[in-house]
Chains A and B, each alone.
Chain A
């Protein structure tokens, strides 16, 4: 489990040393393997490319059937159209707002809980640990959660998208496990100098914990970017809609209100072009960063699979 890459390299090297000529069936298997994996990878890329190509095409091309990979008749009318729509912009703004708020406040709350739980001497530690773990297994479910938000008067408030998922039990536990591996001696020196725990957490522990903070932070960012259901049920004011909900209304409900609120222009432009351009606008930020951040996510799965 420790260093996967090294084991991997060693193994393939040793394979090469013990040269055994591949049999015919083995070679067929290899070709088959390359073929299957290539088909799978293509099945993931093509739908995105298709929509991308169509989003840059003019309306008459969109109605031509077949697979599009390169835009025929390049045109920006779809983008010109949706970028004039007010809701794309408010959607972006609201999404970025919830991503930032949840990441910053969420990390602070998570750290604030995880750090004390990492202290073995803390009175009531196991009780508080159970307090965190229980909600991983039992949850109120859709209706009680909704009624709770309603009772708290958070309907139509942006806080409804932030507070209910501020700190996740799983994140608290893995952060606690990380803190437990930091040697106590570092903190003891500061304690002797009279520093309190809050100071120690932010000045000593925080700089040492950047790997876990990056991991949990990136999970939160991607999760928040893609969230839509809470906005759908808690938010009625269209100005507070997040991007995913705007997208949903445009592609599934073909909501004219969403696209056409600002520009009362003629609907000469095809709905399809607008849909495609909206999808692309919503996924480009994620597609641009995911290859670089995926390793943090993979690492998280490994951390989670170890019993803590």
Chain B
């Protein structure tokens, strides 16, 4: 009522309306007080850094501050593409992300389909709970666990290799194996957790569909092929679109904890490069420019895949 009234008043009398708004604001003053801590926090810690991105168009000097530092136009971006170091980390990122998408994206879908076919509910719950476990561990811990387990000297994996007469591989210290190891540990950490969304989609399939199929004499594989998989397709497409931006993203916490000098040629990716140039070598503007470029490309990728998804007749995310 209050708001419709004020709409009418807008037309009639502006001054009166202003009074009205003030009155409404005054009426809700306690709500604004409640919001205040969060608003101040967001301005200081979320919006100020967004404003800080303009240093990618400046030559940032700590003494001069963001405002005082001179504008340099696109010089930082030119410097990125002129050097060779960026193109190495760029391709490292894209190749690693491509493998991650190729193997990591279907993994939880397959697990969800497998779990869905398990008839022993208790066993299913047990497997689910165990596969959630890595989600609750930090990458520091995961890297620690894996480095022990895959240690070429006395780890159990090396032991099996030796027993079979194969020379043990140092999975995390050999550039040839580094990408493989990152894909594997990435799947290991997230497969159980990522599978939840698909399991929810699977359990919302109407059981009548299955009953009708059984009466029609469909085998179990046919039911999976013609009912289960098509039913989860929309959610698969949506997640694929959302993940397409990750082609140029990388998991900093994962790579950073596994990275060592031996594998730098294959393992160094954009985020670790930004960390090194930005915070270690303190080339602030240069590193910020890389970040900005990366975010722009990621956004573009999501936009393009959404467009393609819509073209082929699937539902997009917007």
| Chain A interfacial positions (CB closer than 8 Å to B) | 1, 4, 7-8, 10-12, 14-15, 18, 20, 22-23, 25-26, 29-30, 33-34, 36-38, 40-41, 43-48, 50-51, 54, 62-68, 108-110, 112-113, 115-117, 119, 121-123, 128, 131-132, 135, 138-148, 151-152, 163-167, 172, 196-198, 201, 222, 225-229, 233, 244, 247-248, 251-252, 272, 275-276, 279, 282-283, 286-287, 290-291, 294, 297-298, 301-302, 305
- Which residue from A131, A146, A287 sits with its C-beta under 8 Å from B279? A146
Known: A12-B121, A290-B136. A166 touches B52 (CB 8 A): no
Return chain B residues, CB-CB under 8 Å to A46: 149, 156
For the complex, give the distance between the alpha carbons of A286 and B132 in Å: 12
B114 and A64: CB pair below 8 A? Answer: no
9 inter-chain pairs at a CB distance below 8 angstroms, sorted by A residue, are: A15-B210, A33-B118, A41-B131, A47-B145, A140-B50, A144-B52, A152-B44, A198-B33, A298-B196
CA distance A165 to B38 in the complex (A): 11
Please indicate the chain B residues that have their CB under 8 angstroms from the CB of A113 in the complex: 34-35, 38-39
Please give the residue numbers on chain B whose beta carbons come within 8 Å of chain A beta carbons, in ascending order: 2-3, 21, 24-25, 28, 30-39, 41-42, 44-53, 55, 60, 65-66, 111, 114-115, 117-119, 121, 123, 126-127, 129-138, 140-141, 143-149, 153-156, 158-159, 162, 188, 191-192, 196-197, 200, 203-204, 207, 210-211, 214-215, 219-221, 252-253, 256-257, 271, 274-275, 278-279, 284, 287-288, 291-292, 295
Within 8 Å by CB of B154, from A63, A222, A291, A294, lies A63
Are A148 and B136 in contact, CB atoms less than 8 angstroms apart? no
A-B contacts at CB below 8 angstroms, number: 280
Name the distance in Å between A7's Cβ and chain B's nearest Cβ: 6
Contact A67 B30 (CB under 8 A): no
Instruction: Give chain B's interface secondary structure class.
Output: helix
- When the two chains form the complex, which single residue of B24, B44, B156, B279 contacts A123, counting CB atoms closer than 8 Å? B24
How far, in whole Å, are A112 and B274 apart by their CA atoms in the complex? 35
Which residues of A lie under 8 Å from residue B126 when comparing CB positions?
41
Instruction: Give A161 to B242 CA distance when docked, in angstroms.
Output: 29
A290→B132 contact, CB < 8 A: yes
Contact A228 B197 (CB under 8 A): no
A222: min CB distance to chain B, Å: 6
A51 touches B35 (CB 8 A): no
Pick the contact of A116: B31, B132, B204 (CB < 8 A): B31
Complex-state Cα separation, A45 to B110, whole angstroms: 20
* Structural contact, A167 and B41, CB atoms closer than 8 A: yes
List chain A residues, Cβ under 8 A from B33: 198
Provide the residues of chain B in CB contact with A165, threshold 8 Å: 45
